[in-house]
Structure 1
Amino acid sequence: MTVAVIQFGGSNCDRDTLRALDALGVDAELVWHEDGLPAPVEGIVLPGGFSYGDYLRAGAMAARSPILDEVREEAENGAPVLGICNGAQIGCEATLTPGAFTINESARFQCERVHLRVENATTPWTEGYDEGEVVELPIAHGEGRFEIDDDQLDVLEDEDRVLFRYCDQDGTVTDEANPNGSKHNVAGIVGDRDTIAVMMPHPERVSLPDIGHTDGQGVLKAFAES
């Protein structure tokens, strides 16, 4: 399949994502946002970085690029779409998923490894894991705190649309394990369709066997198996 990894000014995880997909045998290519999506396209990644320097709000300007209209159309047609870190911010700003990512509770940039508990193992992004399994992925963000109003959060919870929560190494969800103050420790969710996902941690950075840690492969395998 052909997966488009969309580049904006300030994207900096696009090549990492491309390499991780290539290692899984996925045909992926970098696509500059002004060029539009290639045809056909069978998957889309909004990668991490600092699109437009995070002016206004992280992801706000990129979400208004014309290519996002194409992304929404492909998503509605069932193409898998994944937003990672800045891509997650873009995805929320573009209303691909509900909620928003805003300034960390610490008010500082955080770059560290965190533990995540798999909350729903039946989505394309998590079927390579077991429900309740704990994985370790890196974060690198200054605006990673997930916020959403209580009614919308209830919908996410009731519809089992939370993919991952920040947790302790043993899988216990605690305030101490929450690196950025995200509501209910949410680290990743799916949209109305489970083929659309956004997450703040970086699966592409822990997907290559030659660096000895592959906990993120399960997320990216959604593109290999769809």
Structure 2
Amino acid sequence: MQEAAEVVVVEDDPTVREAVGAYLRANGYVVSTFGDGVSARTALRDGTPDVVVVDRMLPGISGDELCRDLRSFSDVPIMMLTALGQLDDRIEGFEFGADDYLAKPFSLRELLVRVGALVRRSQRGQASAGEVRVGVFAIDPLRRRVCVRGEEIALTGREYDLLLFLARNEGRPLGREEILREAWGWSFGEPSTVTVHVRRLREKIESDPRDPVHLRTEWGVGYRFSTLGDGS
């Protein structure tokens, strides 16, 4: 029998915290809950769960700070819960290292679906052994590590999944909806999420992100991954 996935919920509103915790437990997850960022940070440094669900506005240290701190030592999938739901707010959340973003008020069923997608993404990455080599890129699915020209680069979980999916489909134009569905396991989502992560990924893999060689825009379609001109 497969071991139940563990989810950490960090939310200062006791009603929301208890509702989310109870719903996830009822659907088979092992859940730990925290009401502030300080206690959550201490616990997360002692052990890594499968998914972290964190409110952006927390007492002590903010959800943004907690997310950034967690990213300094872990690539655990992070979902932000927040009342700040505008596009700029979502982009800012991704900049702090979040993998997903759910605006309040939200449906517990949608939360469950998104948590499940994050868990499957993590498990799929762990199970997909066999190094992927394309051009100057070497991707290790078992360790979830990426090297470019022999040098390891730091990616968030969602950036890693995006690059792996692109690399496995080198040369093929990929639409944003297909990336949402196939790379991240979302049955629904906002295409702007892909745009944000493409921009972040370009900053890490391209010599000049404003004139990308590898992660190219395919106008009217989405994106195309290429190793042409990489000097390999």
Which band: TM-score by shorter chain? 0.3 to 0.5
Name the structure where helix makes up a greater proportion of residues.
2
Q: Greater RCO between the two (CA within 8 Å, min separation 6)? A: 1
Q: TM-score, normalising length from structure 2?
A: 0.35
TM, length-normalised to structure 1: 0.35
Higher percent of residues as strand: 1
